[in-house]
Amino acid sequence: MVHTKLYRVIYGDTDKAGVVYYGNYLRFFEIGRTEFFRDLANLSYKDLEEEGIMMPVVEAYVRYKSPAFYDDLLSIETAISGLDDYSVTFFYRITRHGEDKVIVQGSTKLTVVDKEKGSIRKMPSKLLNLLDPLVIRPEPQKANLN
């Protein structure tokens, strides 16, 4: 399942040249991820924290392909590309709204941490079962029998 969130670039997102500052794309990823949870899983980070669960980012990858500028309307596409008992991996693709040219793509991996102990823990089965149907899985390859 792919979730799309629109975001208008504000002046504070840009550098002196009016180009989106590279570090802000990780914040855009967070916007996409937060709204993915809220809209598709009917869940917020606040809900998780109230249940004693933290989900910090432990890995991040960003591939810059084209610049975005002040006042661009961006389309932030977010999907879950991996899920296991301890972590979830999100994939992101950012384009100008209505265009196919990729500005940035990347991923983040979040692990599940017990809020009180500060240690990695297994993902609660309720959360795992909620997220599992949302994972984008590759199509199985057909065997070539020729």
Residues 85-95 pLDDT 10s? 999 999 999 99
| Neighbour count for residue 72 (Cβ, 10 Å) | 20
pLDDT of 52-64, one tens digit each?
Answer: 889 999 999 999 9
Q: Is residue 71 situated within a structural domain? A: yes
Q: Note whether residue 14 is domain-resident.
A: yes
The domain tally of the chain equals 1
3-state secondary structure 90-136: EEEEEEECCCCCEEEEEEEEEECEECCCCCECCCCHHHHHHHHHHEC
The reply to whether 100 falls in a domain is: yes
Distance CA 106, CA 9 (A): 19
Residue 74 in any domain: the answer is yes
Q: Is the pLDDT of residue 19 over 80?
A: yes
Residue 141 forms part of a structural domain: no
Distance from chain centroid for Cα 108? 6
With respect to residue 139, please indicate whether it lies within any of the assigned structural domains.
Answer: no
* Residue range of the domain that includes 48: 2-134
Q: So what's the pLDDT on residue 30?
A: 97
Q: What pLDDT, on a 0 to 100 scale, did the predictor assign at position 139?
A: 61
Mean pLDDT of the chain: 91
pTM tops 0.95: no
pLDDT for 40 equals 85
Domain CATH number, residue 33: 3.10.129.10
Residue 6 lies in a domain: yes
